[in-house]
Structure 1
Amino acid sequence: MRSPRPHRLALLTLFTVGLSGSALAEGTGSATSFLDNFDTLDTSVWYVSDGWNNGAHQNCTWSKNQVRVENGIAELTFQEGKLGERNYTCGEIQTRKRFGYGTYEARIKTADGSGLNSAFFTYIGPADKKPHDEIDFEVLGKNTAKVQINQYVSAKGGNEKLADVPGGANQGFNDYAFVWEKERIRYYVNGELVHEVTDPAKIPTNPQKIFFSLWGTDTLTDWMGTFAYKGPATMQIDRIAFTAPGGDCQFAESVACRTN
């Protein structure tokens, strides 16, 4: 599989434009455990991307209007509508703080549609005065039976793996988790271990921000499929948790209940 990361590499410069200096400076240390069930969108925790895109490959502009919380669910939407240089708008949120080793867990229902990407990932990069490190779960709307797993270390990727999502990532909520340790990363789907990384060269070391995003492309067809707009699409997030190493698990189904 080809390495599909121009959109993340574009963040290295575009974050400098998209975020204020104060936002970039926040959360320079590794944060402690937290659980968000999205009763509200706490803007002291989350920064909402708004008013820019990540490069020519992305066919939508990030918009705060495509992010909302309703009935305990955070929703990111993709829809037609001219904004900036793009004919579509899309949604993204990111934590203001950075998180290091620990257990990351999200309960998500993804969007479907060729050319769309529903992503749960961690990222840090040169705009934060750090190397580009990243850990990914990405569901491509062209095939919602699979989730793509990947890591970047100092901007080097090429570690893509596909894991099954039984029943389909777009048909209901599924649990995605990774346990990030100094010596390994373990990836889980619905509590089942689906991949393990032990090569030190493939394990990030820098604390990162947590992101959720839904975006589209007209150009990355080999990776994401040919884009064909069929109406608004939605990615839903029911829960996000970070559990620090050795910390108490924060909900009954948590992977941390077994691994900490």
Structure 2
Amino acid sequence: MTQQRCNHSKQTTRCIGQIAICAMLLVPAPLFAQELPKGASFFDDFETFDESLWGLSDGWVNGDWQNCMWSKDNVAVDDGLLALRFAKEANDKRDYTCGEIQSRHVYGYGTYEARFRTSTGSGLNAAFFTYIGPHHGKPHDEIDFEVLTRDTTAVSLNTYVGGEPNNGKRVPLPQPAEDGFITYSFVWDPDGIRWYVDGVLMHETAESSPLPANDQKIYASLWGSESFPNWMGNFVEPDAEVLMDIDWIAFTALDEGCQFPGSLVCQDG
């Protein structure tokens, strides 16, 4: 779910903000109405923060419904993981801060994959998704994986086409999202979208369903809200910082071959 989006054993301990000094920040969305460059296939294992692939959301909120401000200090890379953090930190916009990365390019048909784990917390959303919208001079198109961390035994799937939701479904996870890393993948091609969890097909678009038509940016984010108790649960202030740890993110363009072991593209058939 995206509304008025502005552009969105490894240790879990992080030096939050350690990449902020060198990472060029994305500025608020109105400056992004020009055509965005199209990206090629990639696999990012976050051994470093690749500034050519990613920008950081910083200093704004997506709307009144979001109870945290995006902060560059809530994104860090350490020990081969990218960590997004939600924490109680009062600022001039909200009482909490949250973390998000977004791609500098747009991507089209192909396979989108991320491997991550989350903490738990009611009223929080750990999301891996693609999005394009009016701030980019395009209609609102979107493809979602959203772990609502009030219940980490399932993940929510969805699309938006021209701003209208379609194909929403909540599917079980093979283990609670905080217990270990899970691979979330979707394949987007001209005929439809198929969602996979750890390589297992979980959902696909109906034959007559409208489909996204515009190349989209890739996002990973951890954010909170007090506005959607029926969806995200009643917000409960966390006792400690909440983390979304991302092992890797990848995109493989349609008709391109296996890039790395563990990719859905590498499976027979």
CA distance in 1, matches of 2:80, 2:209: 39
CA distance in 1, matches of 2:268, 2:137: 32
CA contact (8 A) 2:111 2:186 kept: yes
Secondary structure, aligned partner of 2:167: coil
CA distance in 2, matches of 1:180, 1:259: 18
Relative to total residues, which structure has the larger helix share, 1 or 2?
1
Aligned residues: 250
Aligned counterpart for 1:252 among listed residues 257, 261, 269:
261
Aligned counterpart for 2:84 among listed residues 76, 80, 85:
76
CA contact (8 A) 1:60 1:89 kept: yes
Q: Is 1:47 aligned to 2:55, yes or no?
A: yes
CA contact (8 A) 2:56 2:101 kept: yes
CA contact (8 A) 1:134 1:153 kept: yes
Structure 2 equivalent of residue 90 of structure 1: 98
Unaligned regions of 5+ residues in structure 1, if any?
A: none
Q: Is 1:9 aligned to 2:19, yes or no?
A: no
CA contact (8 A) 2:108 2:214 kept: yes
Structure 2 equivalent of residue 63 of structure 1: 71
Letter in 1 for 2:115: R
Superposition pairs for residues 166-245 of structure 1, below 5 Å?
A: 166-230=174-238, 231-245=240-254
CA contact (8 A) 2:166 2:209 kept: no
Unaligned regions of 5+ residues in structure 2, if any?
A: 8-25
Q: CA RMSD in A?
A: 1.8
Cα 1:71/1:17, change in 2 over 3 Å: closer
After superposition, the C-alpha distances for 1:1-41 in whole angstroms (9 at most, x for unaligned) are xxxx4xx2212xx44972473x5546333x22111000111
Cα 1:192/1:223, change in 2 over 3 Å: same
Letter in 2 for 1:194: M
CA distance in 2, matches of 1:197, 1:191: 17
TM-score (norm 1): 0.91
- Give 1:128 deviation, angstroms: 0.9
Structure 1 equivalent of residue 28 of structure 2: 18
Secondary structure, aligned partner of 1:9: coil
Cα 1:104/1:202, change in 2 over 3 Å: same
TM-score (norm 2): 0.88
CA distance in 2, matches of 1:188, 1:114: 25
Letter in 2 for 1:250: Q
Percentage of pairs with the same residue: 47
Secondary structure, aligned partner of 2:219: strand
CA distance in 1, matches of 2:178, 2:210: 29
